[in-house]
Chain A
Amino acid sequence: MSAEQQERAVRCLVAKVGLDGHDRGAHVIARAFRDAGFEVVYSGLHRAPEDIVQAAVQEDVDVLGISILSGAHNTLVPKVIEGLEEYDAFDDTLVLVGGIIPDEDEDDLKELGVAEVFGPGTPMEETIEFIRNNVPERA
């Protein structure tokens, strides 16, 4: 009997990496995602890139949103992406970065495989819409 319906929910990990104690934004995002019907796992503060990878793999999230306000994105984000690749999880995870990212870095991050970068003042609906439209299809 396969008549019971599927219950698919978008799963997101909202992650704070490195020495960056500003998590108001991450909290607001987490709540907005929840209200959009997503299932949100919040990493907590001061996580190492390996911790983020561990959480993303174990929770099998569709979306990994990394919030960085410290300026260390050029060292931290590549480590996270490498880790995801190591676990074969990069291809079907939508990686987003939020925070204060200079324009020239934004291009580099996208080159690495970050799907989109959301700066300060991005309307919440825009981020949610982006996720809805770009969540990886999974087998």
Chain B
Amino acid sequence: MAGPDASAVADAPTLSEADAALVEDLLAGSHRALARVITKIENRTPGYRAIVSALHEHTGGADVVGITGSPGAGKSTLVDKLAAAYRERGDTVGVIAVDPSSPYTGGAVLGDRIRMGSNVGDMDVFFRSMSARGQLGGLSTATADAVKALDAFGKDLVVLETVGAGQNEVDVVRTADTVAVLVQPGSGDDVQTLKAGILEIGDVFVVNKADMDGAQRTVAELEEMVHRREGGTTGRDAGHHGATSTAPTGAGGSSSDHGDGDRAGGSGHSGSDPHAGDSDGSWTPDVLETVANTGEGVAALIETFDAHAAYLRESGRIAATERRRYAEEIRTLVRAAVGSLATAEIERHGGIDRLAERVRDRETDPYAVAEAIVGPIADCVDEAADGDAGD
């Protein structure tokens, strides 16, 4: 594994002079530079990869909290109150708020900022709205990179806020260390739907608007669900597959959870004790109540976030979490890069429409087309592999 790793490090993208200056300004604390870097990340401006690459070594200082929940659950209001509370104890805060964009025009109204009433005028809360314009897992890459920019800038805490609908959003929030799932009272069916994907990712469950009717019932339902989850197999711990070392599958998009055995991040996160053990030290999600409008329960929520961060550090889980995250990141990047290779190859074969038409005319079939397109790429990979073996 050492060979490919080393070459990957050596091939770090090079910064242009202007971008190097931008990175320098960001690290020196320029808000403008930070904002501009995030724009480049969002737009995928040529050279943004080199920027993020240069920022990586400066990251790792921030606790990253993800907040997700259905529309109207009160996420933005809660984030506002959280930011204010963090500021009160002297922490600097970065917020990335993701809003959906129209699939038709690409336009979006990014409304989360309106709720940031407690922090207007406070430049130490850096609030940035992002639209979900990226596709194919690109959104989670963009938000993760934006979090890195905030982290490198020196924010003590980064909050990632997103609507909890769809895999895209789940992927976004999974890039956080601690994930809070926000639920509003009386959403009995909502709690049911949480099962599909979101329940598993919550480290903390928050029943917001807890002064409303039905709050207690929702709390009880969530608690029951959390305990049921504890009873069953959790299936979300990564860090026990160290022994099985599979060959890298490239961009195959394998859903396996390998890659834990070796360092994925490349930035010297020493996982001293990768095996925390589930029996004694596992984390049981808390179910908390808040009233975001008044700030009730926010202090307790922050305590729980801190407790979870401490748990991650003390149990050594943070290493596993980070490895999982970086592994996912690498996979996404590789997949995107290979995907664009494939797109270029499709163009070379006359474009997707023509290929589809040929399939429709029964001239060929989808499998054959895919084979024809991927074939040359696979040949190159084989050749490279042979070359490596020869060294």
Contacts and interface: CB of A to CB of B under 8 A. Distances in A.
A74 B169 CA distance: 44
A110 to B, nearest CB: 25
B337 A43 contact: no
How many residues of A sit at the interface, in one of the four size bands?
A: 35 or more
A89 to B, nearest CB: 6
A60 B35 CA distance: 5
B44 A55 contact: no
A9 B337 contact: no
Nearest to A44: B114
B45 interface: yes
B145 to A, nearest CB: 13
Contact of B109 (A5, A6, A31, A89): A31
A45 B314 CA distance: 45
B18 to A, nearest CB: 6
A7 B133 contact: yes
Nearest to B39: A60
Given A51-B120, A58-B126, A58-B128, A43 B113 contact: yes
B14 to A, nearest CB: 12
A10 to B, nearest CB: 9
Contacts of B122: 54
Given A3-B340, A87-B32, A42 B131 contact: no
Given A48-B121, A51-B121, A37 B35 contact: no
Nearest to B106: A37
Contacts of B315: none
B216 interface: no
Contacts of A35: 102, 105, 107
Contact of B31 (A2, A11, A38, A87): A87
How many residues of B sit at the interface, in one of the four size bands?
A: 35 or more
B127 interface: yes
A59 interface: yes
A19 to B, nearest CB: 15
A34 B102 contact: yes
A44 B116 CA distance: 10
Contact of B110 (A3, A8, A39): A39
Contact of A6 (B31, B45, B101, B340): B45
Contacts of A107: none
Contacts of A89: 32
Given A7-B134, A35-B107, A54 B120 contact: yes
Contacts of B128: 58-59
Contacts of B129: 39, 41, 59
Given A34-B107, A42-B109, A57-B32, A5 B126 contact: no
Given A7-B43, A7-B134, A58-B127, A39 B101 contact: yes
B32 A8 contact: no
B343 interface: yes
A22 interface: no
23 contacts: A2-B49, A3-B337, A3-B341, A3-B344, A6-B43, A11-B39, A35-B102, A39-B101, A40-B107, A42-B109, A43-B114, A47-B120, A48-B120, A55-B127, A57-B32, A58-B127, A59-B113, A59-B128, A60-B35, A60-B36, A60-B39, A87-B31, A88-B32
Given A59-B128, A87-B31, 7 more contacts: A7-B42, A11-B39, A39-B133, A41-B110, A42-B109, A58-B127, A59-B110
Sorted nearest first, the 3 A-B pairs with minimum C-beta distance are A3-B340, A60-B35, A44-B114
